[in-house]
Chains A and B, each alone.
Chain A
Amino acid sequence: MYTQGLDQAGKSDPAGAETKAQLDAFQARVDAEEKIEAKDWMPEAYRRTLIRQISQHAHSEIIGMQPEGNWLTRAPTLKRKAILLAKVQDEAGHGLYLYGAAETLGISRDRMVADLLSGKAKYSSIFNYPTLTWADIGAIGWLVDGAAIMNQIPLCRCSYGPYSRAMVRICKEESFHQRQGYEIMLTLCRGTDEQKAMAQDALNRFWWPSLMMFGPSDAASKHSAQSMAWKIKRFSNDELRQKFIDVTVPQAEYLGLKVPDDKLRFDEETGHYEHSDIDWQEFFDVIAGNGPCNEQRMAKRRKAHDDGAWVREAARAHAAKRAKAAA
C-alpha cells in the first residue's frame, strides 16, 4: 500500500538485551489484542518496523499531494476546484497525523523529512505516475484512494495504539476522497464521447499501478509473516488486492468502462475475479527511482522544503523575540 511492504524488518535487538521473557510477554499482550502504547516496552525490531512503515506512509501522503495539486489551477469548475483543494489539504493532514504517530516511537520529524529528501526513505510507487488529464483526478480518487481505504481499514486495528488512532482519523476522511473521484468519472462517462474516452484512458493508465499499491505478492514479501504475528498487518497483500478487484470491477462496469485486462473474468465458484499477472518489473523499476515522475516529485519536494526555510526561521525568531519581551 502506501508502504507496500517495502519496509524491511528492523534489525532485531542489536544490543542483545531483550530477554525471552520480555519477548513472550510482549507477544502475549499482542495476542490478547491489547494495544501497545508509546512508552510501553516493545522489541527493537517492532519499533523499527513501525517507524519505517509509518514514515513511508506519511511520506506517501505528502508526495501524493503533487499529482493532484497539478490540477488545482485547472479544475473545470470552481466547485471542482474547491473540492480538490479540500482533498489535497486532507492528504497533508494525513501526512501530519502519521508523522506525529511515528514521532511517538522516538524518531524526530526532521530526521524523517531528511530521509525523504535524501532519497533514503521510500514512498508509494503510485505517486510517480503523471496526471495527464482531468480524468486522472477522477481515477485517482476512485482507484488510488479506493485502494488506500482497502488497506487502511484493517490498519485501524493495528496493535500500535498511536498508529491505529491515526488510521481511524484518516479512514473517516477517505470516503469523501473516493466518492468525489467516482463522481468525476461518472460525470465524464455521461458526457460526450470524447469525455468518456478520456475516462477510459485514465482507467487504462491507473488500473495496474493501483493494483501494485498493495505491494508484492505474498510469496515475495519476506516480512509479512512477522508483521502479521505482531498484528501490524491483518491481511496479506494478495488478499487485499483481491478484495479491491472484486469491489472495483462492478464499479467500472457501472461507468461503462472496460478494465484493461483481457484475462479478467468472474469465477462463479470462488466468487472472485481472476486477473492477469502483474508486471512486477515495472513496480520494482518505479520503486528503484525509474518511474515516469520520480525525479520531478523529489525535485519539487526539495524545492518546497528549501523555499520554506525562511518561513521556519522567521517563525522561530518571532517566537524568541516575543518570549524575550514577555520575560
Chain B
Amino acid sequence: MSKDEWPLYEVFIRSKSGLSHRHAGSVHAADDDMALTNARDTYTRRNEGVSIWVVRSDRIVASDPAETAAFFEPAEDKIYRHPTFYEIPDEVDNL
C-alpha cells in the first residue's frame, strides 16, 4: 500500500435476516464510516443486503494455505466425531 492510498477494507454482507454475513469483496476508504457507505454503493445497488460488516484487511488473521494440511490434520483421524461411525441395529428407531 502506498503512502497516499486509502486503507483496504473487506466487505461482508448479510443478504437477508436469518443468513450469515458472507464475504463480498473489498473497498478502499479513508475511515470506517466511508468504508460502510462505499461498500453499500459498490456491493448493494440492487438490495443485495440488509446488513454490512466492513473490517480493515490488515486486521484479519488468517490461516496459512501452505500449512493447510498440518493445520487441519488433528481433525482428520477423529472419525468417531461423525454419527456414521457408530453401528446401530436397524430395529432401533429414532436414533
Q: How far is the CB of B79 from chain A (nearest CB, A)?
A: 24
A39 touches B62 (CB 8 A): yes
Contact with B along A157-182 (1 / 0, CB 8 A): 00000000110010001000000000
- Are A40 and B65 also in contact (CB < 8 A) when A90-B45, A97-B42, A166-B25 are? yes
Q: How far is the CB of A308 from chain B (nearest CB, A)?
A: 12
Which of B2-10, B70-78, B86-94 forms part of the interface with chain A?
A: B2-10
Q: How far is the CB of B76 from chain A (nearest CB, A)?
A: 19
- Are A108 and B26 also in contact (CB < 8 A) when A41-B66, A318-B31 are? no
A108 touches B5 (CB 8 A): yes
- Are A315 and B4 also in contact (CB < 8 A) when A39-B62, A40-B65, A89-B45 are? no
Residues of A within 8 A of B34 (CB): 315, 319
Q: Which of A97, A103, A166, A316 is close to B8, meaning CB atoms less than 8 Å apart? A: A103
Residues of A within 8 A of B46 (CB): 173
Contact with A along B38-75 (1 / 0, CB 8 A): 00011101100000000000000010111000000000
A86 to B1, CA, bound (A): 31
Q: Which of A40, A312, A319 is close to B4, meaning CB atoms less than 8 Å apart? A: A312
Q: Is A285 an interface residue (CB 8 A)?
A: no
Q: Which of B5, B41, B64 is close to A110, meaning CB atoms less than 8 Å apart? A: B5
Q: How far is the CB of A105 from chain B (nearest CB, A)?
A: 13
Q: Is B21 an interface residue (CB 8 A)?
A: no
Residues of A within 8 A of B28 (CB): 109
A98 to B64, CA, bound (A): 24
A101 to B27, CA, bound (A): 11
A312 to B45, CA, bound (A): 23
Residues of B within 8 A of A39 (CB): 62, 64-65
Q: Which of A37, A97, A111, A169 is close to B65, meaning CB atoms less than 8 Å apart? A: A37
Please list 9 pairs of residues, one from A and one from B, whose beta carbons are closer than 8 Å in the complex, sorted by A's number.
A39-B64, A86-B45, A96-B25, A108-B5, A109-B5, A173-B46, A315-B30, A318-B30, A319-B30
Additional A-B contact list (8), CB under 8 Å, known A110-B1, A173-B46, A315-B6: A100-B26, A100-B27, A108-B1, A108-B5, A110-B2, A312-B30, A315-B30, A315-B34
